[in-house]
Structure 1
Amino acid sequence: MNEIVERCDVLIKGGRVIDGTGQPARSADVAITGDRIVALGALNVERAEHVIEATGQTIAPGFIDVHTHDDRLVMSNPEVTPKLSQGVTTVVVGNCGISLSPWTGGHTPPPLDLVFSPEPDEYQFPTFAAYAEALGKHPSAINVVPLIGHSTLRCCTMDDVDRPATDAEITVMKERLRESLKAGAAGFSTGLFYAPNKPAPAAEVAAIASELSAFQGIYATHMRNEGEGLFDSLDETFDTARRAGCAVVISHHKCQNEKVWGRSVESLARIEAASAEQSVGFDVYPYVAGSTVLLEEMIQPSKRIIVSWSAAVPEAGGRDLSDISAEWGCSDAEAMARLQPGGGIYFSMDEADVDRILSHPMGMIGSDG
C-alpha cells in the first residue's frame, strides 16, 4: 500500500535506493522537504514542487570523504566542485597534522604548504573560532568536519620543530586544541611521518590528545611508518589513544613497501584485535599510489614516481621522476632536490592489499584529496 504524502518540496521517483545501512538496493520514491527526507518508499504524493524522474538511476545519501586536505578549498572554491560533482556532501579536513588553524604566522614547511599559501593571505586564521566564523559567513556547498593538526600547532608554538616539545610548549598546544574543540573542532590529527611532526614522541602526542575525551573528539593519525615499521606504528597508535583516552582513526591504512606487501592480512587482524579493547577505525583510499610533497625517503619504496607539481621547475609537472633524472644526468634524489618545493605521486602499494583493505567492513573511504 502506497504511503500518502500531502506535500513535499522535491519528489524523486522510481529510483534504485541504496541507503547506506548495508541492506540490498530497492526501488523507492524519496520525498524531501527543506533539508530533510520526509518519506521513503512507495509514495503517493499529492503535491510536489519539483519532481525528478529517477527510473534507471541510483539514489544514495551524500558520500562522506573522511580524509581530505580541503581546509582551504571549501573557502576558495565554496562550490567544492571536485567533491560535489562526485556526490561527496561532507569532507573531513585538517588531516595528517595539517590544518589552516590555529595559525599565528611564521614559516610553513612542507607539508603545511599543501594548505597554506607561500605568502600571507586571507586564508590564515589565528584561532579555529576565526576559521569557523569565516566559513559560517561564506559557507561551502558541502558540510565540513574540521580537525586540528599537530604540525600546525607545533609550527606556531615552537621555535624549533626538530625536537620534542617542552612541557611549557605542550601546555600551550593543549590550550589551543582545547579552545578549538570548544569552538566546534571535531578532533586532532598527526602526521608523524612528516618532518615537522616526526620529532614528537608518543608522550607528546598523548598529552595533547588527552584534551579530546571531554569533547568526544577523534584522534586521526598518519602513522610514523606505513612500510617496514608498520606494525610498530600500529602498536604506537593504539597505545597513544589508550593513554589519551580517546577514539583513534588510522589514516589511509596501507602496506607501503614491497617488504610488507601481502601483510595486510596481519595488519587488519591487529586492528580488529585492538578494536575489541578500544575505539579504533581506519580509512583507506582506492588506489595503489599515494600523493604528498616531494620526499627523498619515498624514492626507495616506490616503483614509480610522477612529479605532480614543482615550484622550481613548473614544466616538470606530470612527468616521471626517472625520466627527469635521466634527462638531467643525475640521481633521482638529486633531481628531486632540484625540483623542490613540489609534490609527487608514489606508486608503492600492491593491488591485492588495497583490495583487501578496501573490502574490510571497518574501512571508511577517503580520497586524501
Structure 2
Amino acid sequence: MLDLRIDNARIFDGHDFNDYRHLGIKGASITYLGNEAVPAARIIDASDRLLTPAFVDTHSHADFMVTHDDNDGGSSVSQGVGTLVVGNCGMSSVPETAPFPLIAFRSSDTNHNCRDHLRAVERGLSLNIGELLGHGTLRLSVMESARTPSQAEIASMCSRLREYLEAGWAGMSVGLNYPEAAGYSAQELHALCTVLAKFGKPLTCHIRDQGAGILQAMDEVIDISRDAGCPVLVSHLRPLSDRLDHLVPEMERRFDNNDHAHFDMYPYVAGCTTLSLVFQNAFQSVPKASAMFAGADVDAAIRNVCINSYDDIHVIQHANHDYTKKTIGEIALSLGEDAASVIQQVYLADPNCVCIFDNTSTQESVGRLIQHDRCLLGSDAWLYATNFRGACHPRNFGAFTGFLTRFVRNGPIDLVAGLRRITSSAADYFGLDAGHLAVGRRADIALFAMENLRENATFSEPCQLSTGMDGVWIAGQRVFGDNADEPQRPGVRLPVHRHAGEH
C-alpha cells in the first residue's frame, strides 16, 4: 500500500506534462505513476493543480543556515524549492579554514575537513543540498594570505579540488572580486578548470566586474573554461547600471556563441552585497581610517552603481543596529554629515556590513536576460525560518514565486520552458539527483495552481512568505502546506552523477 497517492493533478515530470492521473509515494520515493487507483493510506484530490518536481535553486548562500536545527527553511519551501546549490561565489563550508562572514552567522558555523563535514550533514538538513567547493575558501586552506600562488600551491589546490569532486561535490565556484581571490591568475584558474573538466563539472563565477568592464570579465572566464574543457556558469548576471543596458545584446551573444556557457540570475533590479565589495570594485581597495577616499570619487562610484545614489543603499546587517533598515542617505542626514564620508564610516564600523543596492539594473535588462535559454534561476539568497522577521532582500522569500508569476504566468516565458528551467535543467546542470518525477526517484515534489501563486515579499516587508503552494514534500515528508508533517529534517546532501565527459 502507498503512503500517499495524489490524484488528478497535471503532472509535470521535469521535461513535459504527461498523461498520468496518479502519483504514489512510499517512504522517501515515488513508487507509482499511472492511471490505476492503487490503494493508499492517504489520498489527495489535486484537481486543477500542477504537480511538479520541487524546484532547484542554483545559487544559494545557505551553506551553514541549512544545517541549523531551528531553521525550517520556510523562506524557500514556501516557494516550492526543495534543493539548494550552496558554496557559491568562492565561499563554502569546506575545507577547514576560517569561515566567510557572509555565510557564517553563528559561533557554531565552522568549516570542517571533508570527512567531518560529511558526518555533520548526515544529521539531516531542512532542504536538500548540492555543494560547490569555494575557490576563495580553497585558497585560504592552502595559502596563509590571498596572493598570487606558487606552482606548488596551485598543484595543492588542484589535488584538494580533486579530492572533493571524488567525494561528490558538484563543481567549484569563484568570487573573483572578493579579497580572498586577490592575485589570482589565468594559469591558476586554467589548472583548476582542467580538474573540473575531468569530472565534467562546472565552474561557477562571480566575475571580477559587473560594471563597465563586464564584457571583458565574462570573456575571461568563458575563454579559460572553454580552453580547459569544462562548463561555466556566470553568477547573478546583470549590468550594474542603467548606463550599461546597451551591453545586454553583447552579453547575450557570449552565450549564443559558446555552448559550454550558462548564467544564473534572480528577477529583481536590486542587488545585495557588502559595502567592501563596492569599494573593491571601484578602487581595488577599501577605505582605512587613516586613508579615506575623496568624497567626489566616492560620489562618482556610487552614481555608477545606483540610479538614485546614496538613497538606493539600504543597510540590512550591521553591528550598529541604529544603522539597519536605513539608507546611507538617511544616516547621513541624521548625522548632519556628507554621505560620501558617512558610507566609509559605516564600512569602517563593520567591514562585514551588508546592504541592498536598489536600482542597480533596469527592468528592461533583467526582463530580457531572464528570457534567455541559457539562464537558470538562482536566488543568491540565504535561508530563513518561517518566523524570521529581520531585514533582508525580498529575493530570499520571493525569487521563485516572482519568476513564475511575473515571467511565466503573466510574462513571455512558456509554462513548460519555465518549469523545466527550475527543475530538470537546473538539477541536470550540476548532475544532482533532483528535478524529475519518475518511479524510483526521491519524492521531492511541489503541488500548486499557477493562478494562486502570490509573491508577497517587498522591500518594505521582505519577510512575507509566498502563498499559493498547496504542498511541498521532501523525501516523501510534507514540509509545507496544510497538515504538514511534524517538524523534521528530511533534506540530504544529494548524490551527484558524473557527466559523460569524465575520464
Smaller-chain TM-score bracket: 0.7 to 0.9
Find the residue that maps to 2:258 and give its secondary structure. Answer: helix
The yes-or-no answer on 1:83 pairing with 2:69 is no
Q: Alignment partner for residue 285 of structure 1, among 262, 266, 278?
A: 266
| 1:321–1:19 CA distance, 2 compared to 1 (3 A) | farther
Helix, strand or coil at the partner of 2:181:
coil
The answer on 1:158 being equivalent to 2:143 is: yes
Q: 2:317 aligns with which of 299, 303, 309?
A: 309
Which residue is 2:328 aligned to?
321
Cα deviations across residues 148-201 of structure 1 (Å, max 9, x unaligned)? Answer: 11111222322331x322222222222221221122211111001222214312
Residue of structure 2 equivalent to 1:176: 160
Mapping of residues 257-276 of structure 1, within 5 Å: 257-275=241-259
> C-alpha distance in 2, partners of 1:152/1:290?
23
CA–CA distance in structure 2, aligned partners of residues 24 and 50 of structure 1 = 24
* Match of residue 185, structure 1, among 165, 169, 178: 169
1:219 aligned partner: 203
| Structure 1 counterpart of 2:104 | 116
| SS in structure 2 of the partner of residue 71 of structure 1 | coil
Structure 2 counterpart of 1:318, one-letter code: K
Contact 2:97 2:137 (8 Å CA) reproduced: no
| Structure 2 residue 113 is matched with structure 1 residue 127 | yes
Q: Secondary structure at the match of 2:273?
A: strand
- What is the distance in 2 between the residues matched to 1:28 and 1:360? 32
Q: TM-score, normalised by structure 1?
A: 0.87
Which residue matches 2:357?
346
Matched AA of 1:131: H
- Number of the residue aligned with 2:7: 13
What displacement does 1:330 show?
Answer: 3.1
Q: Who is 2:134 aligned against? A: 149
| Distance (Å, rounded) in 1 between the aligned partners of 2:13 and 2:368 | 23
Inter-CA distance 274–147: structure 2 relative to 1 (3 Å threshold):
same
Task: Indicate how the Cα distance of structure 1 residues 141 and 200 shifts in structure 2: closer, same or farther if over 3 A, else same.
Answer: same
**Corresponding letter in the other structure for 1:226:** Q
Q: TM-score, normalised by structure 2?
A: 0.65
Deviations 1:124-143 (A, max 9, x none): 2342332122101x121322
Deviations 1:310-348 (A, max 9, x none): 11x212212112111222233434323322230011120
Q: Offset of 1:27 from its aligned partner?
A: 8.4
1:198–1:224 contact (8 Å) kept in structure 2 = no
Q: Segments of 4+ in structure 1 off by > 4 A? A: 24-27
Match of 1:299 among 288, 298, 302: 302
C-alpha distance in 2 between matches for 1:283 and 1:343: 21
Distance 1:87 1:241 in 2: 32
Specify the alignment match of 2:395 in structure 1. none
Whose strand fraction is larger, Structure 1's or Structure 2's? 1
Deviates more, 1:174-183 or 1:121-130: 121-130
Cα distance in 2 for partners of 1:334, 1:196 equals 26
Report the secondary structure of 1:299's partner residue.
helix
> 1:361: which partner in 2?
373
Amino acid at match of 1:114: L
What is the count of residue pairs matched by the alignment? 348
Post-superposition CA distance 1:263-319 (Å, at most 9, x none): 3222112211012xxx221111111111111233473312311111111x2122121
Where structure 2 has 5 or more consecutive residues not aligned to the other structure, the ranges are: 283-300, 382-503
Change over 3 Å in CA distance of 1:10–1:100 after alignment to 2: same
Q: CA deviation at 1:144?
A: 0.8
User: Which deviations, in whole Å up to 9, do the C-alpha atoms of 1:1-28 show, x marking residues without a partner?
Assistant: xxxxxx422111222334432x469784
Q: Which AA in structure 1 matches 2:316?
A: S
Mapped to 1, the partners of 2:20 and 2:336 lie a distance apart of: 61
In structure 2, the CA distance between the partners of 1:168 and 1:126, relative to structure 1 (3 Å rule), is farther
Contact 1:15–1:28 (CA under 8 A) maintained in structure 2: yes
Q: Deviation of residue 225 (structure 1)? A: 1.0
The structural deviation recorded for 1:30 is: 2.2
Using the alignment, how far apart are the partners of 2:166 and 2:229 within structure 1? Answer: 18
Which residue, out of 36, 45, 66, partners 2:37? 45
